[in-house]
Amino acid sequence: MNTAIVAEYNPFHKGHRYHIDETRKITGCDSVIAVMSGNFVQRGEPAFVNKQIRTRCALLNGVDMVVELPVEYATSSADIFAKGAVDIIKAMGIADSISFGSEAGNTEVFARLMDILHEEPAGYKYELKRYLDEGMSYPLARQHALASFLAIPFENLDYLSLSNNILALEYMLALKGSTIAPYTVERKTSQYNSTILTGNISSSAAIRKAVGKGYTEAALEAVPDNCKDIIRSKKKFPSIDDYSPILHYILRTKTTDELSEIADITEGLENRITAEAEGEKISRLVNKIKTKRYTHAKIQRGLLHILLGITKEQQKKTPSYIRVLGVRKDKLHLLSELTEKAALPVITNVKDNEEALAREITATDIYNIPLQIGKGMEYREGLILLDP
């Protein structure tokens, strides 16, 4: 029996190891397959370290095979991120269950809402539109709409405002009608977006912030020993501001009509971006543009999609391949089983699949610009086979 985990591992830390260990306990699975974001992640940022490093860390700490979540889904809002990941898990044909972290710690709280969110009855849709029209972000408007429709206090649904719970709900929605069983592991100690180190288990955000301020050794207390030297060996960690000149070049060479086709650029946002962008670093531009409805993460995702050329139409399409980034040598049978049972082509090398992987090749080349790494790294980084 195999269980899938959707993850960013940005970077891999002891909380992730806890999730993997608990997943094995609660599912009784034989193998864990991670569907992992590549070189850019969901908050619209470059990954702290590249996907090959994160793949190695995952394989060293309980994951048996790593599959890549394509960039058009990995950098998207929770609904598209979750659907893209679950579509890949379904297409693999070898996963019996999926395990995700959540603040709730159980799937029942989400299951109670599934019929409403899946069928969207008229009363719920009316309430949702009403709150969106008031300028609320989608997750907040959805929470208000559910509370109104169910005639319960808004506070009863506060759990829907927490980052991992938002994703958990989307995984459950994407799984509806599937035979893949959902499990969840309660998040321990540190919240997803906490930027404060909390010792043995700290969030990825806290680790990234501490390393950025020079507190590398304190941050690495939250990282498994077998990953510490891998991270220490990195001399530079890219930030979204490193890509500001590229963004300004694109904004000066694209029309507003062209920008309006980009993912997360909606309701005239392209005009606001071009009006405010002159000379600004991306982080400052995000702060200038964000509103109550258009959150920091949404704006940053939109700007990243401009950088990467990811369109709304590309996000609407279902996955067309399954790319394996790495596998443990003692679990090579998983790769054979995947190749036999998958409903999509299985890719393990770039050279023979340039057309399918075109967006990943471009994304990696852009990711590597501030690291002063030349083009073509996707071709030089083959399938990772890790000794047991």
328-356: b (≥16 Cβ within 10 Å) or e: beebeebbebbeeebebebbbebeebeeb
For the stretch 28-85, pLDDT in tens is: 999 999 999 999 999 999 999 999 999 999 999 999 999 999 999 999 999 999 999 9
Extents of the domains making up the chain: 2-104+176-189+319-386, 108-160, 240-314
Say if CB 73 and CB 157 are below 8 A apart: no
Distance CA 386, CA 388 (A): 6
Say if CB 45 and CB 304 are below 8 A apart: yes
What stretches of 318-388 adopt beta strand conformation (E)? 322-328, 346-347, 384-386
Is residue 199's pLDDT more than 70?
no
Distance CA 124, CA 14 (A): 40
Distance CA 379, CA 349 (A): 8
More confident residue, 183 or 279: 183
For the stretch 89-105, pLDDT in tens is: 999 999 999 999 988 88
What stretches of 127-206 adopt beta strand conformation (E)? 181-186
Q: Angle at which helices 163-175 and 78-92 pack, to 10 degrees? A: 50
Distance CA 251, CA 230 (A): 36
Instruction: Specify which residues 286 forms β-bridges with.
Output: none
CATH 3.40.50.620 fits 2-104+176-189+319-386, yes or no: yes
φ and ψ at residue 136, rounded to 5 degrees: -75, 155
11 preceded by a cis bond (ω within 30 of 0): yes
At residue 232, the pLDDT reads 86
At residue 69, the pLDDT reads 98
